[in-house]
Amino acid sequence: MEFLWHGSASVALRWPGAEFLLDPCFSGKEDYGDWYWPNEHRPDWDRYRSAHHPTHVFITHGHYDHFDLETGKKLEAAFRPTFLGSPEVIAAVHRYLAVPAERTIALRDGDSLDLPGGARLKAMQGVHWITGEEGDIAARKLDRPDRYGVMPAGGPMLAVWLDVAGHSIYISGDNELKGIPNESVDVAVMSVGSVMPHPATKVYDRPIVTVDEASLAVRYRLKPRLTIPVHWDHSAWIEPVDVPRLGRELEKAGLPMLVAPYHQAVDLEGLLA
């Protein structure tokens, strides 16, 4: 079983029979316009296409830095994967990406799904700004050509729990602290950030867990054998995310952390042995 980080919140897991890709955002400003904050560490598309074959693409929620329509179009044309997400996300996958219904799966909070290779997925609704009813309203307001791609879908934010090869893996998505479950896991892939202006109010806010909140979630709720922070490198953060400090705090508690390299497969089996 291997883990790959493609920058920002874009991550993948590979095991025999499947390559599970989550929130792929590989586009640049040229794909959308000056408003777009790209994933600065995204993979080169030609290199990605030659080295990967995602079988499943999971979209956690409808914000542009997680649901990248132009990347979705490329993935559909090159690989024809199965797309998974909330009903709202899947409706947008049909609308914008023209993916047929037989290769889409809509999931709600608590839904489980068997994946190839004996893996099992569970969707878990999280807590994140501009999702749910607020997200539905925002998505309708932004449904216009000049803002194409800003927010392709409303609906909830879904975190992911995977049971693969005898190990449990939690991928938090853009969860706030109160959305993190109190359940032990082998691997916690945590989106960690700082502050940024709220798109509507322009007031500085914390849309996902900070370093301090991530430390609390890992030490007292998830208690994983391995923590992998992601999303901390996104260029929209006003303040740098002090990932080394998170590592030091977890080390004091005897909880290992891995800062994954970009686009290089990490052998999770070996790290968990």
What are the structural domain ranges in the chain?
Answer: 2-259
Overall size of the chain counted in residues: 273
Q: Mean pLDDT over residues 1-23, rounded?
A: 98
Residue 194 · residue 241 · CB < 8 Å: yes
Q: How far apart are CA 175 and CA 128, in angstroms?
A: 6
As given in the structure block, the two tokens for residue 165 are 């090869």
Q: What residues contact 155, with CB distance under 8 A and at least 6 apart?
A: 61, 62, 86, 87, 88, 89, 131, 132, 135, 136
% of the chain with per-residue pLDDT over 90: 96
pLDDT tens-digit profile of 122-178? Answer: 999 999 999 999 999 999 999 999 899 999 999 999 999 999 999 999 999 999 999
Q: What is the pLDDT of residue 244?
A: 98
Mean pLDDT of all residues in 110-116: 98
- Confirm if 164 and 117 have CB atoms less than 8 A apart: yes
Q: Of the CATH numbers 3.60.15.10, 3.50.50.60, 1.10.10.60, 1.10.150.130, which one belongs to the domain with range 2-259?
A: 3.60.15.10
Q: What is the model's pLDDT at position 200?
A: 81
Which pLDDT band, with edges at 50, 70 and 90, does 14 fall under? very high
> What's the confidence (pLDDT) of residue 201?
87
Full-model pTM: 0.97
Which whole number is the average pLDDT over 78-90?
A: 98
Only one residue has tokens 């994983």, namely 224
Secondary structure (3-state) at 94 = helix
Q: Tens digit of pLDDT for each residue in 20-67?
A: 999 999 999 999 999 999 999 999 999 999 999 999 999 999 999 999
Mean pLDDT over all residues of the chain?
97
